[in-house]
Amino acid sequence: QRHSPPLCSLPSRTQRVAAFVAEVARRTAQLVAGWQTVGFVHGVLNTDNMAITGDTIDYGPFGFVDQFDPDYSPNDSDAAGRYSYRQQPAVSAWNLRRLATALAPLGSEGGAAEAAAEAEAAFWVEYEPEVRRRWRSKLGLLLTDEGEADDALLESLLGVMQRTGADFTNTFRALSRVGWEASEAASYRAPQDFDAVLEYCLAQCASTEAMLKRARPIFHPKALARLAAIAQTEPERLAQFGLDASVVARETQRAARREALARVTPRDKRLSDAEAW
């Protein structure tokens, strides 16, 4: 009655419960799409830290992505990376499944499992086009939608940002240095028109020292070596530590990147960054 008055007019409780969960999924999808496209990381996305209103609550160990790293989490106790920037959409969808499961006894024709699946599906149906719309807006892709080409452009940009240690917010602000025209014909820009953007992006890329600090593995090298051995021989044991093989693989790759970065001079990094951009 307070948050979704129109739903009260539906004739049956089963319909009201289903419509309520779908509405919460829609609001949550809109919220998380906003998080992802401004680089906000909640940090502790437990089920009790999400609201049916689609608002951000319990700010706890929140943070914003600076040097772009999709595995960034402001929660120092989140060794598994469950609440990282990359995982926020999936964790939010999982939380909606729990809500639907809890409400299923009030009115679900197909049972808890079906209600949970429908809640997750409702989230992704809303989230995927919304987050794509927001990304395209940030990139200034407002006139024509080139489908997979636009998606590939974003994926490539985020990859370069990660490799060069670019600042999330400043990179997108840099695009405002190029004017936008109201017609497709007038919006063409020669490559040299982006020189100012390029120089700005290169100037705010992280130093080798800063990237080394960010690439520091969560685990001590000896502990990581032991976990890697367990992952190879007895992967099921990782659950005892709240981990899985993907976490060990991620941290092993992080350690390898750190080792490679340690051999890079500031001059070499500048040249590499310029080539990447």
Residues involved in catalysis: 48
142 is written with which tokens? Answer: 């407002």
Is the CB of residue 139 less than 8 Å from the CB of residue 152?
no
DSSP state of 71: T
- Burial class from Cβ neighbours inside 10 Å (0-12, 13-18, 19+) for residue 83 reads buried
d(CA 179, CA 177): 6
DSSP state of 207: P
76 is written with which tokens? Answer: 């120092």
For the chain, the distance separating the N- and C-terminal CA atoms, rounded to the nearest angstrom, is 52
Contacts of 9 (CB under 8 A, 6+ apart): none
d(CA 91, CA 29): 11
Is the CB of residue 86 less than 8 Å from the CB of residue 131?
no
Contacts of 165 (CB under 8 A, 6+ apart): 67, 68, 205, 206, 207, 210, 211, 214
Is the CB of residue 33 less than 8 Å from the CB of residue 136?
no
216 is written with which tokens? Answer: 């520091």
